[in-house]
Structure formats: structure tokens, C-alpha cells
Amino acid sequence: MQLPCEENFCQSDLLLHNVTEEYSGLYKCTVVPLKYKSGHALDIQFVRTYQLDVKNTSAAIPKFVDPYPLNKTAVINDQVVFQCRVHSEEHPTIKWFRRTPASLPNGLENMGINSNNLNAHIVHYNGHTYELLHTPGEKYIGEDMFLSKLILNGVRLRDAGYYACAAITFHGYKIREAYLEVHRQGYVEDYNANGEAYTDPSEFWLLFLMPVGLAMPPLIFWLSYLIYKRFTTPTEIQRNSQIYSEDFIEDDNCVLRA
């Protein structure tokens, strides 16, 4: 759309009424070369681009997909991965924070860093202080679902604590925390890297051997009884046969005497 302008001054406005999401996009304003009465023109163009984003105010605020993020248990030097899955009708901004003490750590004070330098990375929410962590951007995984990960490599005991995932849109935000527990070497983990419970194979074999151990005493007793019966039965039969033979001879003698 081209608008007429005066020779020395040109000012135009573009008014959009009853806008919808379909009006979203780039709008470009271009000033054509200035022409003089003599027919000459300057080979100059002025271009300015505007971006219009029309949001649906009826859309709901983002919500977390249960049960993420999950609590984690790790050993020193392990890698820990927190996952945050969010359902949102529009693309959210997902950030990770770590809950910190209200006062500045002594290590930072000794380095000459004061709280004013950290204001851009510190957030106060619900009576707690959170430090912003640098993480990759969120990823769209389909059906209005977005995924964000917080990866901690080589965790230490000092890394234990609460970590928060914040999903933010124009309509609001949601925050959910997860706790990281870090143990020293030699601790037997009950959870894998995804926070899911698992069973140690050695524990499985122990569970398998327990009923076998309980069944061994009666089995040994039963086998001992069979062995005892096998070796004692022929002797008893032979003894009974001998007694029967002696009784038979006595009966015969009695008959002959008669």
C-alpha cells in the first residue's frame, strides 16, 4: 500500500483494528527515493521493519507434566540430569534456578564480588533466594510439550540442595523444585540416572539364595532318613527271616514229635 506524501514532509500511520493471531508477522515501512521537480531522484531508500505478535489471552498458563522434575540421589563425581517437561499452548521460556542462602557466600565475598553484581542472576520468590543457572534452550517434543534439561557434571557435596524449573509465558508462570542428594564414594545408590528405582543384581541373587538356604535343612534331613532307611531295611528283613525260619523249624519238630 503506497501513501501520497508532500514534497518536503511525509508521515504515515498504519492502524489495525480488531486484530487476531492472523495479523501476527513482519510489517515493513519503505520510503521511496525522493524525486525533485527537475526529474532527478536520490538513489536512497529508508526501510524500517516492525514485528507484531498477537497473543491469545484466553490461553492457559503453562503446567508441568507430572512427576517432573524428579528428586535425585547421586555419588560424588556422578553426572546428574534433571528433566523439566511442560505443557503449554504457546512456546514458553524455561529457566533453571538453584536455591541459595539469602546472604552472599564467603567465597564470593573474598573474591571481591558483591551482591550488586549478582542482581541480574538472583531472584527472590516465596521467601527464598534463587540463582539463575545457564542451560540450553527448551526443546519442542510435540503436542504442545516442551522439554528442558539441567545437566550437572562431576557433582560435589556442595551441589546438594534444591533446584527449581520455571516455565514462563505471557499469561503467567509455574515453578517446581526437585532435591539433589549427594553422598560420598561407597554409597550404594537406590536410584539410577533418571531417578527411577532399581535393584542391584547382587541383591537379586541374595534374594534367590534365601529360600534355597531355608529349604536345605529339611532336604538334608529327608536325604539322611532315606539313606538310613536304605541301609537298615535289609538287616531287619534278614533278621525277621531268621526268626521266621527258627519258628518254622520248631513247628516242624512239634509235628514230628506228635
Residue 211 pLDDT grade (very low, low, confident, very high; cuts 50, 70, 90): confident
Place of cell 537406590: 190
Which pLDDT does position 237 carry in this prediction? Answer: 54
Q: Are residues 208 and 222 in the same domain?
A: yes
Cα pseudo-dihedral 230, 231, 232, 235, rounded to 10: 120
- C-alpha pair distances (Å), 206 with each of 192, 201, 219, 220: 20, 9, 20, 21
Domain boundary among 160, 178, 198: 198
If one counts the domains in the chain, the total is 3
Query: What average pLDDT does the structure give for the chain?
Result: 76
What per-residue confidence (pLDDT) applies to 239?
60
For residue 18, the model assigns a pLDDT of 86
Please write the tens of the pLDDT for every residue from 141-189: 998 999 999 999 999 999 999 999 999 998 889 999 999 999 998 654 4
Q: Which one of 148, 172, 198 terminates a domain?
A: 198
Domain co-membership, 72 together with 166:
yes
43 with 120, same domain: the answer is no
C-alpha cell at 56: 491469545
From 182, 198, 214, the end of a domain falls on 198
Residues 117 and 173 occupy one common structural domain: yes
DSSP string for 234-256: HHHHHHHHHHHHHHHHHHHHHHH
Would the pLDDT of 111 be above 70? Answer: no
Query: In which region does residue 172 sit, left (phi positive, over 0), alpha (psi from -120 to 50) or beta (all else)?
Result: left
Are the C-beta atoms of 88 and 144 separated by less than 8 Å?
A: yes
pLDDT per position as a tens digit, 129-139: 999 999 999 99
Whether pLDDT at 115 is above 80: no
Q: Taking Cα atoms as reference points, which of 79, 84, 100 lies closest to residue 151?
A: 79
Q: What is the DSSP letter of 60?
A: P
Quick one: DSSP state of residue 121? G
pLDDT recorded at residue 185: 82
- Per-residue pLDDT reduced to its tens digit, 7-24: 555 667 888 888 888 888
Write down the pLDDT at residue 151: 96
C-alpha triplet 212, 216, 220: angle, nearest 5°: 155
Q: Examine the domain organization and report whether 215 and 180 are in the same domain.
A: no
Tell me the residue range of the domain where 11 lies.
1-54
